[in-house]
Amino acid sequence: MRLLLFFTLLLILPQSAWCQDSTRMVKKDSLFSIRKHIPSTATKRSALIPGWGQAYNKQYWKIPLVYGIIAIPTATYIYNNSMYNKTKFAYEAKFKEALGDPSDVEKIDPELKNLSASSLQSYRNLFRKDRDYSIMWFILTWGINVIDATVSGHLKEFDITNDLSFKIQPTYLPQFNQAGLSLQFHLKNSQSR
């Protein structure tokens, strides 16, 4: 729980270091102003509630994917925690029965009654390990959700015009007596027109 709180605070607090531009309003005309898309807002929203950053980026189709992916470790956590508690209780009851106190044996889950104490101990450890892995996968999927919102937020206003050219030409390096290929990218700046 402390680890989850630490990662949440780690994502939320240093947001001023992640933003590119702190200006929120851009003048389009003397009468109208439009809001500029701010990637750090998408990051903060996605860190608080999964999918909220994707909604801010207007990528609504990703929201069901986000919740579907986060639901998998949540469901495995619930299952593994339930089975861990059952096997833990059954192991403790079998251990108490071996010491001469059979009072809790009747409360053991019917699926686990025929197992030995060593088998119950092995299953208990396995379910505890899988439960802990589910927590790790939950934090990882939540982090991927935040990263997706951040990257999509930064690419929201990315210029994809046709002002990009790419040229391949053969070259010869006489000092090394080698032939090769030269790759040249030309980016035309639309603001210099």
pLDDT of res. 77: 97
Q: What is the pTM of this model?
A: 0.64
What is the pLDDT confidence band of residue 15, given thresholds at 50, 70 and 90? Answer: very low
pLDDT of res. 19: 44
Burial of 21 (0-12, 13-18, 19+ CB in 10 A): exposed
- What's the mean pLDDT in 40-67? 94
In the block, which residue shows the tokens 């898309």?
37
164-182 burial: b if 16+ Cβ within 10 Å, else e: eeeeeeeeeeeeeeeeeee
